[in-house]
Amino acid sequence: MHLQVLSSGSGGNSALIRAGRARVLVDAGLTLAEMEARLSVAGVPPPVGERPTLDHVLVTHGHLDHARSAGAIARKHRALLHGSEAMLSTPSFRRAKRLSTLRVGAECVLDEELGLRARNVPIPHDAHPTIAFRIEHEGRVAVVLTDMGRPDEFVARELRGAHLLVLEFNHDRTMLLEGSYPAQLKRRVAGDAGHLSNDQAAQMLRWLAGDELHTLVLAHLSQHNNTPELALAAAHSVLAELGRSDVRVLVASQHEVGENLTV
């Protein structure tokens, strides 16, 4: 299985997972045109004829930076669009032709023959529900966990076992509190239903990192309230504490398609 981050941050989130012949998108938070451009860079050109070019589009929650073109991209690429019941009636979902309701907290078999499964776990955030995905194929596990308001040990336990982990490192708490955001927005981001600070993400990492973890992708970094250096320092410090300095750590980009990573 391979995972490639197409975009990460409040301007739009999306990751492409390839497992055998299956192609799965987690979130589609850019415009349709921008999603198409990033998919092309990743080697998934627009479809010719009726053959699907994506099999599944999974959506974590209804915020536009995750769901913006989910329906349109699923329709265009003939993919099955998966979202929680609450998401199905939202404008971004309406354009999809093929819809599947995700049961929150349950596992969904994406491809029986390939043994490709996606389990979702509800996480605290101010779009209800918001879920994280644990995708498994041939014994390899990729986890995508962003848009979480506070560390939660139960969530970490449910998601453990990742070989590759995409984890939100949204903001540095001091930069957020001393920065230029309006007070209300600061309260929202820092609140229990907002986003993970570097320190909170580090706590999640402490709980999530198992022996099998080999690659960590720092995701959804705030452009205003974080720097890659601060996020990396927080991640490296936990990995050093766990004696896991061998784990490869990357920062996902808002503007460029990332490396195609082996899970």
Residues that bind Zn ion (CB under 5 A): 63, 65, 147
As measured in angstroms, the least distance from the Cβ of 78 to Zn ion is 26
Residue with smallest beta-carbon separation from Zn ion:
63
Q: Which two tokens stand for residue 188?
A: 């929202």
Report the alpha-carbon distance of residue 54 to residue 204 in Å, rounded: 31
- CB 27 to Zn ion: min, Å: 8
Give the shortest CB-261-to-Zn ion separation in angstroms: 21
What residues contact residue 84 under an 8 Å CB cut-off, 6+ apart?
A: 61, 101, 102, 104, 129, 131
Report in angstroms how near the CB of residue 162 gets to Zn ion at its nearest.
20
Minimum CB distance to Zn ion smaller for 11 or for 20 = 11
Identity of the residue, 29 or 71, whose beta carbon is nearer to Zn ion in the bound complex: 29
Task: Choose between 111 and 126: whose C-beta lies nearer to Zn ion.
Answer: 126
Residue indicated by tokens 């990357």? 250
Least CB distance to Zn ion at residue 146 (A): 6
Choice between 4 and 13, CB closer to Zn ion: 13
